Amino acid sequence: MTQLLANLHEAQGQLTTDIADEAWIARFDQLADRGYVIIRDFLPKAEVAALYRYTQALDDQDWSLAGIGREQQHTVNTRVRSDKIRWLRPEIAAEAVYLNTMDELRIRLNRRLFMGLFDYECHLARYQAGAFYKKHLDAFKGRSNRVLTTVFYLNPEWHVDDGGELVIYGDRGEVLETILPQQNTLVVFLSDVYVHEVKTAHRERFSITGWFRHNTSNAYRVDPPK
């Protein structure tokens, strides 16, 4: 697949994490084998329930129409995606809980798989009935600092008829996974490898999408941007 995937696989023979960390982070070892992993029951039930209630309580003005591309190439195209987003900020207590958890995950992934992850950014995503996100890559090789994409689902009691599935595709366009957005499921995959899409949701759907990133700053550009 990619050289990064090969490096991850090799790194599994060089683990130095302590036993307490290893028991938890071992669930992510499939990243080294196939470049993606699906984790059920990621957070304590009370924590994910609180996140869901917080997200539901946000006002319409708290959400912005999502765009595609980054920085100068950022545009809004509702024919490609029609969800709304809210970037998480550490100064808001309800949002800091999730950000802190993911930063701890970043540290543990670096210890176990030597990934050199520098930081993490994420946003809430709101798919109202009829919303979707067509096939896309989250990063292009050599043109992005995004390394791992994460998607975390918030809705309880989500059923097949509700739609909104995440579909992950392989190198030949074959379907590798069709993931129902069930509460407390975390999906992690290599950002520059897996084309994916979100099928049309038939009722309101909430999730948190984020990216673990490398630091690609140079003398002319700060990246990740502040």
Q: What is the pLDDT of residue 222?
A: 44
Residue 26 lies in a domain: yes
Does residue 203 form part of some domain? yes
User: In Å, how far are 14, 38, 126, 154 from 133, measured between CA atoms?
Assistant: 38, 20, 11, 18
Tokens of 33: 């084998």
The confidence score (pLDDT) of residue 72 equals 44
Domain-embedded: residue 24: yes
Instruction: List the structure tokens of 34.
Output: 């196939």
Backbone phi, psi, residue 159, to 5°: -120, 165
- The answer to the question of residue 225 being in a domain is no
Q: Angle formed by the axes of helices 3-11 and 93-113, to 10°?
A: 80
Binned average pLDDT, 10 residues per bin, the chain of 226 residues: 49 41 80 93 93 97 79 60 95 94 92 91 97 91 82 97 98 97 97 96 98 67 47
* Closest of 190, 194, 197 to residue 212, by C-alpha: 190
Structural domain total, the chain = 1
> What domain range is 93 assigned to?
3-69+76-213
Q: According to the model, what pLDDT value does residue 75 have?
A: 63
CA–CA separation, 63 vs 41, rounded Å?
A: 27
Distances (CA, A) of 218 to 64, 120, 147, 176, 211: 31, 19, 18, 37, 20
The reply to whether 34 falls in a domain is yes
Please tell me the predicted confidence (pLDDT) of residue 140. Answer: 74
Tokens of 214: 């490398």
CB atoms within 10 A of CB 120: 19
Half-sphere exposure of 83 (CA within 13 A, CB side): 25
- Specify which residues 169 forms β-bridges with: 175
CATH of the domain at 18: 2.60.120.620
- What's residue 68's pLDDT? 59
Q: Is residue 101 part of a domain?
A: yes
Please report whether residue 157 resides in a domain.
yes
pLDDT number for residue 19? 42
Residue 220 lies in a domain: no
Token pair of 140 as six digits: 């292009």
